[in-house]
Amino acid sequence: MAFIAANDIKARKEQIQNLVAVNKVSIAINLLLDYAREFPNDSTLLNEAINISRRFHSNKKYKLNNEINFEDYEVSLNKLVESILYLLDSIEDSLMLTLNIDI
């Protein structure tokens, strides 16, 4: 992975989006956890990132143990990816509020 400066918020968000797009969800979630912890002041956003990570690992475990069929696994994975993208936007919205930036 290319080195990205820690304070380059745009590049870090795009890196997470790109990883999701090429199906590297596990790495994307790790970076999302850091992103949600570092930038917003709102701890509920970090809680959401933690929940996403939990859901991802539970799903993986269910799949490994054959406790979930392929279709259901795919549906939950798609939902999880949507949650990641939604959270990234929520973090941006939260920063706009914190920094008092009006559109």
Partner 1 sequence: MTKKLDNIAADLKSRIKDFNQPIDNHLVEFAREYAVSKNLLNQAILKNFRYSHSDRSYKEELYPEIESLIDSIVLDYSENASKETVKNAKNARKQIEDHFFNVSYPSDSVFKSVNLYKKYKRTGFELRDINIDLKFGEITGVVGENGNGKTTLFNIIAGELLHDSGTLNFPYIKQPKNGKLNWIEIDKQIAYVPQELPPWHGALESNLHYEASIRGIKGKENIRSVDYIVQRLGLESELNKKWDELSGGFKLRFSLARALVWKPKLLLIDEPLANLDVTTQQIVLNDLRDIAKNIRFPISIITSSQHIHEIESISDKLLFLEDGKVGYYGAVENVGDNRNTNCFELECNNSLGDLRDALSEVPSISIFHNGLYCLINASLDVSSQDILQKLIANNIEVDYFRNISQSIKYMFTKH
Query: Which residue ranges make up the site for partner 1 (CB under 8 A)?
Result: 5-10, 14, 17-18, 20-23, 25, 29-31, 33-34, 37-39, 43, 46-47, 50, 53-54, 57, 61, 78, 81-82, 85-86, 89, 92, 95-96, 99, 101-103
Structure-token match 């090429």, residue found? 22
Helix or strand or coil: residue 8? coil
Rounded-to-integer distance, Cα 92 and Cα 50, Å: 18
Nearest approach, Cβ of residue 69 and partner 1 (Å) = 16
Q: Which phi and psi (to 5°) does residue 2 adopt?
A: -70, 145
Full DSSP string of 26-85: HHHHHHHHHHHHHS-S-HHHHHHHHHHHHHHHHHHHHHHTT-S-HHHHHHHHHHHHHHHH
